[in-house]
A and B are shown apart, each in its own frame.
Chain A
Amino acid sequence: MSDLTKLTLKGAVDGLKAKAFTSAEITQAFLTNIAASNPTLNAYVEVTADKALEMAKASDARLAAGQGGALEGAPLGIKDLFCTDGVQTTAGSNMLRGFVPPYESTVTANLWRDGAVMLGKLNMDEFAMGSSNETSAFGPVKNPWKSKASNAELTPGGSSGGSASAVAADLCLAATASDTGGSIRQPAAFTGTVGIKPTYGRASRFGMVAFASSLDQAGPITKTVEDAALLLKSMCSFDPKDSTSLDVETPDWTASVGQSVKGLRIGVPREYVVDGMPAEIQALWDQGVEWLKAAGCEIVDISLPHTKYALPTYYIVAPAEASSNLARYDGMRFGHRAAEAKSLTDLYETSRAEGFGKEVQRRLTIGAYVLSSAGFYDAYYVRALKVRRRIAEDFDKVWGQVDAILTPSTPSAAFALGDKQIDPVTMYLNDVFTVTANLAGLPGLSVPAGVDSGGLPLGLQVIGKALDEATVFRVGKALEDAAGFAAKPETWW
């Protein structure tokens, strides 16, 4: 039965409906894989085996009765950022070690409504702050991929590194993830998987541990573009419990996957050519352009002039929002409380120093700094919000000429664990191509499109208009078909 874990989400859902196998069988197959692989890959922080088998049994009963939802019986992994009723939710932090939510996030509630099975909670950078999974209090996740040129263990990217690694190593059919500056798309690119961040407001943030609320958005990491369309549809919904949830219909995006891209106008932004970008990334991008041309797209040279300011803008806006959001961790009502303190202030300060890791402390300090006086507030925070509008306006101006935009997903392939920990800014540059979509609230999809000279996967990104995931999926599928990416990591773990 081991080959059940190699199925796509769509293939598994169809197989379950056709009674080719049971949910209990495929769930057990994944649990067996996880037991063998997780001690090395560290993708799951908690495996909920009993719950998974119980959910699978209930799904099998529904399937046997000819019932069941769109994901009935399909075993998924859940990023440990989503609150799960009765199951520990830590956001990768010691601050929340032992935190067991008495409620369910809207995104995961939607998945269980549609019949999905939860295998466990997936590792991530602490509070989603990181690009390599090395800030997790549970230790880094390892990428199942290794370069032919070296035996070094590689990062799966971050912050959704557990999600990406688990999907790439067949430790779940697909996974939930979240993206504040690139945390879905960068790990997807590093692991040869597909990841989409939808339009801001499509997926509810209720029950998703907050990092930077004007940027945070949930989305899936999957094996194929079709799977991403299927899982995203389940995850999204209008939710009165999230004040920024969009009151719009969630379309059936699977219907868009495979539709012709003939006549679509694809923008290629010249500002996305960055200094020091490897020739292989440029070559892949050029190849992507050729593939879309061959599929009948019209290629349009466009300019997004404020692109270079997106990352510095992000590193004001996100820490400022985080410093406000994470003020709730005061050691009083939930989360870590220091054992001893001399005063109330000392108790707050000690609890937070003990509970938060280094990168979270760094970002909270930046956030407090840029908001720390009226002068700084205007000079840094308000200025960043104005530049953010400039970045969003860049996109608004090109939507008259193009239907979607093609860029590389990341400026490099996966790097070795430990490689970029010395200088924070070097680490932040990972998100150079992805962060603009967060600032502007646009959908962005990463599709595996090739490999570098070491055989490591590389991704292409499709950015679309707000609420136009349909076009993004069409273009993504065209790239997926043209690339025919079929490489899998060789098992070493």
Chain B
Amino acid sequence: MAIDAATVRKVAHLARIKTPEDRLEPLAQELNGIMQWIEQLNEVDVDGVEPMTSNVAQPLRLRDDVVTDGGKIADVLSNAPKSADGFFVVPKVVE
């Protein structure tokens, strides 16, 4: 399952990372190297094994659905690239 430049272009787009054309081939080679090394996982017998999604032996906690914090518009906007009148400002998009 070799990764080619077209696959890298597709995956880079999925990851929303702009990748110049001349980087696609070198990246494909790097990813192939990494994925080939990872292929050894196919040797492991995983029949009937439950996927391990968490290290935590306790069930996720439930809490009351109540407001515990908020009203911090200035804090929320304090790191916005651009904001005005209590709103995030984003570039005009017409598509």
Residues of A at under 8 Å CB distance from B?
98-103, 200-201, 214, 240, 243-244, 246-247, 306, 308-309, 312-313, 315-316, 323, 327, 330-337, 341, 343-350, 352-353, 356, 361-362, 364-369, 372, 380, 382-390, 392, 423-425, 440-441, 466
- Tell me the complex Cα distance, A332–B83, Å: 10
Q: Secondary structure of the B side of the interface? A: loop
Inter-chain contact A333/B49, CB cutoff 8 Å: no
**CB proximity of A34 to chain B, nearest CB, Å:** 27
**CB proximity of A466 to chain B, nearest CB, Å:** 7
Show 30 A/B contacts (Cβ-Cβ < 8 Å), sorted by A.
A200-B55, A244-B56, A247-B58, A306-B44, A309-B44, A313-B41, A315-B38, A334-B79, A334-B81, A337-B82, A344-B91, A344-B95, A349-B17, A364-B17, A365-B12, A365-B17, A366-B34, A369-B31, A382-B51, A383-B46, A385-B52, A386-B50, A387-B41, A387-B44, A388-B52, A392-B52, A423-B33, A424-B33, A440-B55, A441-B55
Q: Within 8 Å CB of A214, what residues of B?
A: 53-55
Inter-chain contact A349/B27, CB cutoff 8 Å: no
Residue among B12, B33, B80 with the highest chain A CB neighbour number at 10 A = B12
Inter-chain contact A425/B56, CB cutoff 8 Å: no
B67 within 8 A of A: no
How large, as a class, is the contact surface on chain B? 35 or more
Inter-chain contact B44/A333, CB cutoff 8 Å: no
Instruction: Render B44-71 as a binary contact track against A, CB cut-off 8 A, 1 for contact.
Output: 1010011111111110110100000000
**CB proximity of A453 to chain B, nearest CB, Å:** 30
**CB proximity of B83 to chain A, nearest CB, Å:** 9
Inter-chain contact B79/A330, CB cutoff 8 Å: no
Q: Which residue of B lies closest to A440 (CB)?
A: B55
Inter-chain contact B78/A243, CB cutoff 8 Å: no
Q: Within 8 Å CB of B27, what residues of A?
A: 362, 365
Q: Within 8 Å CB of A389, what residues of B?
A: 49-52
